[in-house]
């Protein structure tokens, strides 16, 4: 295990969900500065739902997409700036704009069984010479074998790294182990892992992924991200140090940043509570948390019932609109 | 005496085949030929079984027999349509384009300004399935109040989204957004599409959000009435089109949720996304046929 693990910080992308996409320009500058100074290799900065995500469906961003990206690009001294692109939400035109503004990494994300919608986007990213990553979300919803078949498609389109993405924080350690090891054995590209901490396994699952050969890991300051958050960067680095896993980060700097900068910015504590635990327990997309909480209040139903129903219906990432109709339906049944 | 207008279908895939079954039921249109490229294809086989002539040498077959039909439905690809449109223009035929090529103006039967305008066009485009499902609602809202911003989310069962949709997902979102502006009347619009692989497959769902301009808050009941009316109009040609819940207006945003159950003609009922565009195309063809007949009567 001599190869340094690449840390892809998602504080300014997945973290957007936890702040309802309301980071100010000053906050983006401040966070980019400290994360870059602490040694992150890649800093992802986009609306939580990626390029083009600013909408009624997912919530509008405070700062425009172009301004977010150019602010981060201007601020970071060493880290590469990355963006998320979900085909169906964002477009190749928006990717070109991000690249023009200086973004050099893109994660093209699809639901775990729908990799074939990413072909044009992955090819476009490669033709822009971007560091191109395939991002298979909700990886718990399909078998390791099927996930590998989808990953092979992304590899064939030209993705240089492929991620197992535990969007619902629903995978346990063996689930991560099987998926990452199958990727490692059968793909010719690098493998990455993206955790959510809904079952308190964010760091443990990331370590398992590294043990199985993943070389890119996502994390965020104090776990700032959807649901119970991602793998907390400071915790991950502490554990990696203890295990002798090499990386480029400074532990004290990320500890300080998490404690003094990140936590005071959180409008709602990013933590495991009854709702975020329900996400991991039932396997629901983590960014549904705040939407279900609001809908629960509005229609007078328990948000856990909304999430459980969405799990039964097999809702996928991006279907925030379904939360409203499910809440309406449950509200009607109750009354 | 056969008073029906003869029509042809170009393309023997899912859309072309579903279209054939709907055309066979039309009281104004008579499908006479299906044009494909593979004589063994399922679509051409089904066409022959249903009494249509078939050509397996593409548009060339029709060029040699141009009097067979007056209106042609193109259910191939954008690339092929550019070529077909050129040839059919030369033959002075009316064309209904179900591809993303969009050479002609968008046409949404229940939303485009009025049915008479159809006769001015030789080539109209059917937008996208998401466009056919959401533009009528947007138009119903913008008929009452100015819509500052419109947004739609279409969720389609994975099994109902063919390779055409999957490989042209950017075109889907861009074309749908453009139609929401041009036909739906939103000043600015955005479209999102999501594929859901749930099993059993879910019906096509569409969420329509419209941010209305400030100062029009007192028009709530008129907006709701307008939406309810247009749902009935769309149901006239897509019976499985229905509201999931009562429309809501909160904080200046109108929220409407509709689902589309298909008739199950060729693909199963969950593929309402297919039905809504083929049904809209048939309706458009019927309006075109009426305008052609009118012209003949004048002559």
B53 with B113, same domain? yes
Q: Do A55 and B190 touch (CB under 8 A)?
A: yes
B45 with B143, same domain? no
pLDDT digits (tens, 9 = 90+) for B231-260: 999 999 999 999 999 999 999 999 999 999
B133 with B118, same domain? no
Distance CA A318, CA A47 (A): 13
What is the span of the domain harbouring residue B242?
Answer: 129-270
Query: Where exactly are the structural domains of chain A?
Result: 6-265, 287-334
Query: For the domain that residue B184 is a member of, what is the CATH number?
Result: 3.30.360.10
Over residues B9-18, mean pLDDT: 94
Query: For the domain that residue B111 is a member of, what is the CATH number?
Result: 3.40.50.720
Tell me the pLDDT band of B102, cut-offs 50, 70 and 90.
confident
pLDDT digits (tens, 9 = 90+) for B127-186: 999 999 999 999 999 999 999 999 999 999 999 888 878 888 999 999 999 999 999 999
Kindly report the CATH number that applies to the domain delimited by A287-334.
Answer: 1.10.8.60
Q: What is the pLDDT of residue A128?
A: 98
B121 with B134, same domain? no
B139 with B247, same domain? yes
Distance CA A121, CA B277 (A): 26
B192 with B234, same domain? yes
B68 with B80, same domain? yes
Q: Which residue of B has its CA nearest to A120?
A: B167
B265 with B281, same domain? no
pLDDT digits (tens, 9 = 90+) for B29-65: 999 999 999 999 999 999 999 999 999 999 999 999 9
Question: Is B238 in contact with B260 (CB distance < 8 Å)?
Answer: yes
Confirm or reject contact between B243 and chain A (CB < 8 A).
Answer: no
B182 with B112, same domain? no
Q: The domain A6-265 is classified under which CATH number: 3.30.465.10, 2.60.120.560, 3.40.50.2000, 3.20.20.70?
A: 3.20.20.70
Q: Work out how many domains chain B is built from and give that number.
A: 2
Name the average pLDDT for chain A. 97
B134 with B239, same domain? yes
Identify residues of A whose CB sits under 8 angstroms from chain B CBs: 52, 55-57, 87-89, 91-93, 111, 113-114, 116-117, 119-121, 313-316, 318-319, 321-322, 324-325, 328-329
Best residue in A115, A117, A120, A314 for a mutation probing chain B (most B CBs within 10 Å): A117
Q: Which residue of A has its CA nearest to B258?
A: A325
Q: Reply yes or no on whether A21 is catalytic.
A: no
The active-site residue, picked from B129, B133, B157, B249, is B129
B102 with B216, same domain? no
B178 with B115, same domain? no
Confirm or reject contact between B275 and chain A (CB < 8 A).
Answer: no
């Amino acid at each position: 295990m001599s190869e340094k693990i690449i840390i892809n910080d998602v504080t300014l992308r997945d973290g957007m969900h936890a702040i309802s996409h309301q980071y100010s320009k000053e906050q983006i500058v401040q966070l980019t500065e400290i994360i870059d100074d602490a040694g992150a290799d890649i800093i992802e900065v986009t609306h939580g739902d990626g390029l083009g995500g600013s909408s009624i469906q997912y919530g509008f961003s405070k700062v425009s997409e172009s301004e977010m990206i150019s602010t981060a690009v201007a601020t970071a001294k060493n880290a590469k700036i990355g963006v998320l692109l979900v085909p169906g939400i964002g477009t190749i035109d928006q990717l070109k704009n991000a690249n023009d503004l200086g973004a050099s990494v893109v994660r093209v994300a699809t639901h775990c069984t729908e990799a074939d919608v990413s072909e044009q986007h992955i090819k476009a990213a490669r033709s822009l010479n971007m560091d191109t990553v395939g991002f298979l979300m909700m990886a718990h919803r399909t078998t390791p074998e099927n996930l590998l078949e989808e990953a092979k498609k992304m590899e064939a389109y030209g993705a240089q790294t492929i991620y197992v993405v535990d969007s619902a924080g629903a995978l346990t350690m063996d689930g991560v182990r099987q998926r990452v090891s199958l990727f490692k054995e059968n793909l010719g590209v690098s493998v990455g892992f993206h955790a959510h901490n809904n079952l308190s396994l964010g760091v443990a699952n990331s370590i398992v992924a590294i043990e199985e050969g993943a070389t890119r890991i996502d994390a965020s300051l104090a776990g700032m991200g959807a649901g119970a958050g991602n793998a907390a960067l400071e915790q991950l680095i502490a554990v990696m140090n203890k295990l002798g896993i090499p990386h480029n980060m400074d532990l004290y700097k990320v500890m300080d940043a998490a404690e003094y900068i990140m936590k005071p910015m959180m409008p709602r504590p990013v933590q495991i509570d009854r709702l975020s635990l329900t996400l991991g327990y039932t396997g629901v997309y983590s960014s549904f948390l705040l939407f279900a909480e609001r809908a629960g209040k509005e229609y007078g139903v328990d948000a856990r019932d909304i999430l459980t129903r969405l799990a039964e219906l097999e809702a996928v990432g991006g279907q925030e609109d379904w939360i409203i109709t499910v809440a309406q339906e449950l509200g009607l049944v109750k009354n | 005496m056969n008073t029906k207008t003869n029509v042809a279908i170009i393309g023997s895939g899912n859309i072309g085949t579903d279209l054939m079954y709907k055309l066979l039921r039309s009281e104004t249109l008579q499908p006479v030929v299906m044009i494909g490229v593979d004589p063994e294809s399922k679509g051409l086989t089904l066409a022959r079984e249903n009494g249509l002539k078939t050509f397996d040498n593409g548009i060339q077959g029709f060029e040699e027999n141009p009097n067979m039909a007056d209106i042609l439905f193109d259910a191939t690809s954008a690339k092929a349509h550019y070529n077909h449109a050129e040839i059919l223009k030369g033959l002075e035929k009316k064309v209904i384009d179900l591809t993303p090529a969009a050479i002609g103006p968008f046409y949404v039967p229940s939303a485009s300004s009025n049915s008479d305008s159809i006769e001015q066009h030789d080539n109209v485009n059917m937008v996208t399935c998401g466009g056919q499902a959401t533009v009528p609602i947007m138009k119903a809202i913008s008929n009452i109040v100015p819509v500052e911003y419109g947004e739609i989310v279409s969720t389609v069962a994975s099994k109902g989204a063919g390779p055409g949709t999957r490989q042209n997902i950017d075109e889907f979102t861009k074309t749908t957004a453009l139609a929401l502006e041009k036909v739906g009347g939103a000043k600015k619009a955005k479209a999102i599409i999501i594929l859901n692989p749930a099993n059993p497959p879910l019906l096509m769902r569409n969420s329509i959000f419209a941010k209305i301009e400030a100062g029009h808050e007192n028009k709530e009941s008129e907006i709701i009435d307008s939406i309810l009316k247009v749902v009935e109009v769309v149901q006239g040609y897509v019976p499985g089109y229905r509201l999931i819940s009562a429309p809501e207006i909160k904080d200046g945003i109108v929220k409407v949720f509709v689902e589309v159950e298909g008739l199950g003609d060729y693909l199963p009922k969950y593929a309402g996304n297919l039905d809504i565009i083929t049904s809209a195309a048939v309706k458009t063809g019927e309006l075109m046929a009426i305008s052609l007949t009118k012209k003949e009567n004048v002559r």
